[in-house]
């Protein structure tokens, strides 16, 4: 294996690792939000209040439908619920995969040949108990034959539907571990929060964060009184097979009118270009912009 990356100065838990309000003490945030160095980045207030309200309403309806129909795919255990294939539940939840304040960040991190691998809604009720074995990476033991320390195979984008505080089950990240050799052991701890150097990705509703598929991370324990809800859009390369249960339905294929949507859903050739160009879908453009362009 090549040498491990040099140690990274870890910020204390908090929103994107911000450590001071004094101008002279503020860190200079690189254009990628620190993703290349740390393996994650935060996008504060990624959604407008109007967008958040519409997406919440769609997510609420999706959850009600999923809870009422036990044949719908997902995970149903007391401490964690996963609604698989969330893009299939409402057009706006599919449109979110192409959001102009989110997708460009993923494309920059992953490459122009990006595609959707899986998509879901994660629901973490209060009171669940997690142990330290929850720490993992998404690709190190799943995608074999790849030098993950020098590759970016997947990028996971998470959008918060509600505020996520310190005790609200925030995702935990070990910064810089995306560049570790594949045989680097994950330290054993009793609970996820016991991991030295862990950063809690706390954020406001409507904010988003994304992280490298090889970064060591864990769900947090929800010790608050509120349920944590986030939407997941996991991106890989278009030559990678979409996960079973997340394939686009005929209705989703019919709605895939933009070149980027077709690429994201695996409807374009996997190995040859041209790759879809970035463009803002009409649904995410303001009424003023739409009128101006006509």
**Taking the mean position of all CA atoms in its chain, how far away is CA 161?**
13
Q: What integer pLDDT is reported at residue 200 of this predicted model?
A: 97
| CB half-sphere exposure, 59, CA atoms < 13 A | 25
Whole-number pLDDT of residue 277: 95
What is residue 165's predicted lDDT score, i.e. its pLDDT?
A: 96
In this predicted structure, the answer to whether residue 228 has a pLDDT above a threshold of 80 is: yes
| pLDDT tens digits, one per residue of 6-38 | 333 333 333 343 323 333 444 455 678 899 999
* Average confidence (pLDDT) over 53-68: 99
Domain 32-293 has CATH 3.40.50.720: no
Q: Which residue has the tokens 């690792």?
A: 17
For residues 242 and 230, the answer to whether their CB atoms sit within 8 Å is no
Confidence (pLDDT) at 155: 98
pLDDT of residue 253: 98
pLDDT band with cut points at 50, 70 and 90 for residue 287: very low
The arithmetic mean of pLDDT across residues 203-219, rounded, is 97
Share of the chain above pLDDT 70, in %: 87
SS3 assignment for the chain: CCCCCCCCCCCCCCHHHCCCCCHHHCCCCCCCCCHHHHCEEEECCCCCHHHHHHHHHHHHHHHHHHHHCCCCCEEEECCEEEEECHHHCCHHHHHHHHCCCCHHHHHHHHCCCEEEEEEEEEEECCCCCCCHHHCECCCCCCCCCCCHHHCCCCEEEEEECCCECCCECCCEECCCHHHCCCCCCCCCCCCHHHCCCCEECCECCCCEEEEECCCCEECCCECCCCCEEEEEEEEEECCCCCCCCCCCCHHHHHHCCCHHHHHHCCCCCCCCCCCCCCCCCHHHCCHHHHHHHC
**Per-residue pLDDT for 204 more than 70?**
yes
Residue ranges per structural domain of the chain = 32-293
Better pLDDT: 13 or 149: 149
Confidence of residue 269 (pLDDT cuts 50, 70, 90): very high
User: At residue 113, does pLDDT exceed 50?
Assistant: yes
- For residue 294, what pLDDT is reported? 53
Q: Quick one: what percent of the chain has pLDDT higher than 90?
A: 80
How much is the mean pLDDT over the chain? 89
Q: Which residue has the tokens 């393996």?
A: 39
Among 1-10, 40-49, 128-137, 139-148, the range of highest mean pLDDT? 40-49
CA distance 247 to 262: 12
| Among 38-42, 156-160, 179-183, the least confident range | 179-183
Q: Does residue 1 carry a pLDDT above 50?
A: no
pLDDT level of residue 145 (50, 70, 90 thresholds): confident
Give the gyration radius of the chain's Cα atoms.
19
Check whether 102 has a pLDDT greater than 80: yes
Higher pLDDT, 129 or 249: 249
Contact 47, 75 (CB under 8 A): no
Q: Reply yes or no on whether the pLDDT at 292 is more than 60.
A: no
């Amino acid at each position: 294996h090549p040498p491990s990356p040099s140690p990274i100065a870890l910020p204390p838990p908090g929103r994107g690792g911000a450590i001071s309000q004094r101008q002279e003490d503020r860190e200079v945030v690189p254009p990628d939000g620190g993703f290349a160095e740390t393996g994650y980045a935060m996008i504060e207030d990624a959604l407008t209040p109007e967008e958040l309200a519409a997406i919440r309403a769609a997510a609420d309806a999706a959850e009600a439908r999923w809870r009422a129909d036990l044949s719908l795919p997902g995970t149903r255990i007391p401490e964690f619920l996963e609604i698989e294939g969330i893009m299939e539940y409402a057009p706006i939840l599919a449109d979110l995969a192409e959001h102009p304040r989110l997708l460009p960040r993923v494309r920059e991190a992953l490459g122009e040949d990006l595609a959707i691998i899986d998509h879901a809604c994660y629901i973490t009720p209060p009171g669940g108990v997690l142990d330290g074995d929850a720490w993992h990476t998404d690709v190190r033991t799943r995608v074999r034959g790849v030098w993950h320390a020098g590759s970016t195979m997947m990028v996971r984008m998470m959008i918060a539907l509600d505020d996520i505080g310190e005790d609200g089950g925030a995702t935990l990240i070990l910064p810089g571990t995306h560049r570790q050799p594949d045989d680097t052991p994950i330290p054993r701890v009793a609970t996820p929060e016991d991991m030295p150097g862990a950063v809690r990705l706390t954020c406001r509703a409507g904010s988003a964060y994304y992280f490298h598929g090889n970064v060591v991370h864990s769900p947090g324990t929800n010790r608050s009184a509120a349920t944590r809800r986030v939407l997941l859009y996991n991106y890989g390369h278009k030559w990678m097979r979409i996960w079973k249960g997340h394939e686009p339905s005929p209705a989703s294929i019919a709605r895939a009118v933009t070149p980027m949507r077709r690429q994201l859903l695996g409807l374009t050739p996997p190995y040859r270009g041209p790759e879809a160009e970035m463009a803002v879908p009409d649904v995410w453009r303001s009424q003023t912009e739409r009128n101006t362009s006509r």
